[in-house]
Amino acid sequence: MSELDAARTRTAGGIRLHRVSHRYGRGPAAVNALGPVDLEVPPGEFLVLVGASGCGKSTLLRLIAGFEAATEGSIEVSGATPRPGDTAGVVFQQPRLFPWQTVGGNVELALKYAGVPREHRARRREELLTRVGLEGTAARRIWEISGGQQQRVAIARALAAETSLLLLDEPFAALDALTRERLQDDLRRVSVASGRTSVFVTHSADEAAFLGSRIVVLTRRPGRVALDLPVELPRAGVDPDDLRASKEFLDLRREVGRAVKSAAAA
């Protein structure tokens, strides 16, 4: 990495991991979950972390979010130690919404925590709901909408936080295939438009190939970088279904799938 790239990782949304390892517990029962991992992510990248179940993907994401401190090594986001709640908007596999609130209420709460003045929240809420394909649903109750729609609300809420970093941990894993594809289409579009740095965790080579501007394959536990692949597929101005049918996408998907398998076996 050049000096210029290294400097960019210190600006808003850039991530630097230096010799990061994580261990759960102590003594003979300790679990070495991750690392050592070195990673430099410049702002605006859509990084997909892919690897077999249990290889340390969620651990790495939690460390970047600041939910936990790494056992060893150092982590910087935007040039500083990550702080939970401040550093990143986070989306989990289960949407974790407030069930007693409406769709709009959930997004407005996030805007309130982000410090958006009350008089601006309604307009901003509508912008965010529109961006995730939920225009006109603000008054609906959480239990009245589908699982896919709930995950869209979770994404809108994460975007509301206005952080330069978005972290997503297998957010579409519990959805049916068709809903998952539509959410992938929308997330790809939203991420290109927002220019935010994103780190997306999945065990699916298909999802990695479709979403990533860069794909990092992790070994089995303790997860280390097995492959770090820049993606050349077009990011904008392309029909998502055409992209999925293209030879370039199918070749990439096969390459990632093979790498995940051999990294899990190694």
Q: What sign results for the dihedral spanned by CA atoms 76, 81, 86, 92?
A: positive
CA angle 103, 104, 106 (to 5 degrees): 70
Contact call for residue 164 and Mg ion (CB under 5 A): no
Contact call for residue 166 and ligand ADP (CB under 6 A): no
Q: Would you give the binding string for ligand ADP spanning residues 46-85, x where CB under 6 A is met?
A: -----x-xxxxxxx--------------------------
To the nearest whole angstrom, how small is the minimum distance from the Cβ of residue 88 to ligand ADP?
A: 17
Strands in 72-77's sheet, in edge-to-edge order, are 31-41, 15-24, 72-77
How many residues sit close enough to ligand ADP to count as binding (CB under 6 A)?
13
To the nearest whole angstrom, how small is the minimum distance from the Cβ of residue 59 to ligand ADP?
A: 3
Which one, of 216, 254, 249, 253, lies nearest residue 233 by Cα? Answer: 249
Give the separation between CA 13 and CA 9, rounded to whole angstroms: 7
The crossing angle, in degrees rounded to 10, of helices 103-113 and 118-131 is 120
Among Mg ion, ligand ADP, none, residue 53 binds (CB under 5-8 Å by kind): ligand ADP
Among Mg ion, ligand ADP, none, residue 102 binds (CB under 5-8 Å by kind): none
Contact call for residue 184 and Mg ion (CB under 5 A): no
Candidates 58, 151, 163, 213; binder of Mg ion (CB under 5 A) is 58
Residues 185-244 that bind ligand ADP (CB under 6 A): 221
Candidates 5, 6, 19, 24; binder of ligand ADP (CB under 6 A) is 24
Residues 153, 145 contacting (CB under 8 angstroms): yes
Contact call for residue 202 and Mg ion (CB under 5 A): no
Q: Contact positions toward ligand ADP, by CB under 6 A?
A: 24-25, 31, 33, 51, 53-59, 221
Q: Contact positions toward Mg ion, by CB under 5 A?
A: 58
